[in-house]
A and B are shown apart, each in its own frame.
Chain A
């Protein structure tokens, strides 16, 4: 069975970390990552950029609506996610519109990935 572990924290607190504090946390996590990868248990790991870098595509209307900022509603639940390679926000919006056409309703929150490890390769 594969599991997704979704990470929540107060972004104001995390963004207030100094460079040294941030690096210390990442170093401690790297130790855990390495062990999990050695055991062949680690899949992709992504650290997302702050929500200020987010763009949301509301796909509950036609055409879908692009909004700046994170997905702020609480009546929908997180049901899945994609990791895609795109050269620009415009391109990732195009991809999202294509997905939205296949599956309208709800929203996509688009967040640039700041840090990524492909667990299968390290394992």
Chain B
């Protein structure tokens, strides 16, 4: 790796910790970010000359604090001060451990706060994601704009507006109580899952930036797990993201068409991610404190462990969806359970389970897709065609529509086919 690339990797990995500490220190996002930028510039000058510091994050925090304070002083007095570049860019490794000691105690709450700032309940999901990518991950506005397929100016405005909203929420800067901490943790986990889904649900043809959102979400989840190593739901979340992301290389064919789980070439799945995901599920289970992320991860784990689609343990998956349904009831979860039921006990059982959902899910693509599949398996062709037509009308992407069109083609050819899994959301 070249010198520049090495430094940039180190700056990226030190960023959340450094910015989090600076936000606590300055109690202002913009000042913290500016100070961090300044410290990065000095790192680019100093590190190639002096070698990397022993603790890059501590070095950056130290330099950024000094530069932030200087800026504040200058702004207050409106008089230029002598350039102290030399003094601050020569922070020695003796000073860094001191900063490290001061920050270690607050580290966990700092990082959580930085992530939590992005989860402000007034912010719509897209703004939460954009803000997290900007201030926690440190992606540039233009990178984020490309990921969301909007102009840089529009994204700049969106982020500025989001920042203005969270700036008013001053109580976030206080050290949280135990209850507040666990509420923050839940909000942050949900935000990380949003970031992941933004990348995961992107069609193959979208920009590479969008795909990398999944990588970014995994990085954030690992970071959260490092500071809360004994939280089974954080293990579950991280495992869920790893296990879903492991399937990425098999999710689209050469033409960019989505490949349903049942038809994926499982040899393409990324084994190291699966191994890590399975290890985390195993670790979480030991706590016997199940939660929605752990259960979804356990479902993903069963898919990951099935060598072929046919050998999937649908019975166990049905039980897990049942547990998820009791924990967080929703028609979408019931729909997913019905898909597992149809695999374990036949399409009639699956159909009976989803018929009562018709009203709640009437404009949900996957409902009509799954219903069409069940009907087609039973041989109720005309009704199946109606359900598929309804699904096509609700498709949000050409890939979704193309998938249903293939189902209709099969129906026309009279070959009934087990498409239930392929249309069940997130099971796939």
Contact = CB atoms under 8 A, between A and B. Distances in A.
A and B: real partners?
A: yes
Interface in A77-119: 88-90, 112, 114-115
Main secondary structure of the interface of B (DSSP, over half): helix
A7 interface: no
A110 B9 CA distance: 28
Given A16-B219, A69-B230, A52 B272 contact: no
Contacts of A50: 222, 276
A17 B226 CA distance: 18
B32 to A, nearest CB: 20
Contact of A89 (B12, B13, B275, B282): B282
B238 interface: yes
B414 interface: no
B275 A49 contact: yes
Interface in A44-76: 49-53, 55, 66-69
B12 A53 contact: no
B280 interface: yes
Contacts of A66: 286
A15 interface: yes
A5 to B, nearest CB: 21
Interface in B245-292: 270, 272, 275-276, 279-280, 282-283, 286
A52 B225 CA distance: 6
Contacts, number: 58
B352 interface: no
A15 B283 contact: no
A112 B279 CA distance: 7
Given A18-B215, A112-B275, A12 B229 contact: no
A29 to B, nearest CB: 14
A114 B246 CA distance: 14
Contact of B276 (A69, A88, A112): A112
Contacts of B9: 13, 16-17
B154 interface: no
Contacts of B13: 10, 12-13, 15-16
B327 interface: no
A53 B283 contact: yes
Interface string A1-22: 0000000001011011111010
Nearest to A26: B272
A52 B229 CA distance: 7
B195 to A, nearest CB: 16
Interface string B223-246: 001100110000100100000000
Contact of B272 (A10, A12, A115): A115
B192 to A, nearest CB: 14
Given A15-B219, A16-B219, A89 B279 contact: yes
Interface of B: 1, 9-10, 12-14, 212, 215, 219, 222, 225-226, 229-230, 235, 238, 270, 272, 275-276, 279-280, 282-283, 286
